[in-house]
């Protein structure tokens, strides 16, 4: 069968079907919160523990990159991003996280740079 793929922001739809994938807006919430659970609902800590880390470990097992779609939300607080992705880097190492995460953001392309900065910053703080 001839399958047709559509490229979105240099990522094919066939990739989304075959790889570990998270859409934050659809699977977590379009209204993301702050850093810790104690700060309120949909925090970075909650996202990391419930969704990001399990899928990341799944991607590691499969030897693939976890694709994270950042679109469709109202926006992200710095603390949410730092706790989710910086926290993942603190637990699993900067290099491993950078190698196994890939981001898709059409709404705010600079977010990818920002998250990468928070991941790298965890190494500097250690």
From the CB of 119, what's the least distance to other proteins, in Å?
13
What does the block give as tokens for 5?
A: 């793929």
Range in contact with other proteins (rule: CB under 8 A) among 9-17, 47-55, 57-65, 102-110:
102-110
**Binding of residue 110 to other proteins (CB under 8 A):** yes
Query: How far is CA 20 from its chain centroid?
Result: 11
What does the alpha-carbon distance between residue 60 and residue 66 come to, in Å, rounded to a whole number? Answer: 8
What does each C-alpha distance from 79 to 3, 11, 86, 110 come to in angstroms?
41, 27, 10, 16
Q: Which of 49, 53, 71, 107 binds other proteins (CB under 8 A)?
A: 107
Q: Which token pair is 124?
A: 């500097």
Chain residues 4-63 in contact with other proteins, contact rule CB under 8 A: 34-35, 39
Q: What residues line the site for other proteins (CB under 8 A)? A: 34-35, 39, 74-79, 107-111, 113-114, 117
């Amino acid at each position: 069968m001839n399958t047709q793929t559509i490229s979105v922001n240099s990522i094919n739809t066939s990739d989304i079907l075959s790889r570990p994938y998270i859409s934050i807006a659809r699977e977590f919430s379009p209204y993301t919160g702050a850093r810790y659970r104690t700060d309120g609902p949909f925090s970075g800590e909650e996202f990391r523990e419930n969704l990001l880390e399990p899928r990341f470990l799944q991607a590691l097992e499969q030897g693939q990159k976890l694709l994270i779609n950042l679109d469709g939300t109202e926006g992200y607080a710095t603390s949410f991003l730092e706790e989710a992705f910086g926290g993942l880097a603190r637990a699993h190492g900067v290099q491993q996280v950078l190698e196994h995460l890939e981001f898709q953001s059409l709404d705010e392309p600079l977010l990818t740079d920002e998250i990468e900065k928070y991941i790298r910053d965890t190494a500097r703080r250690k």
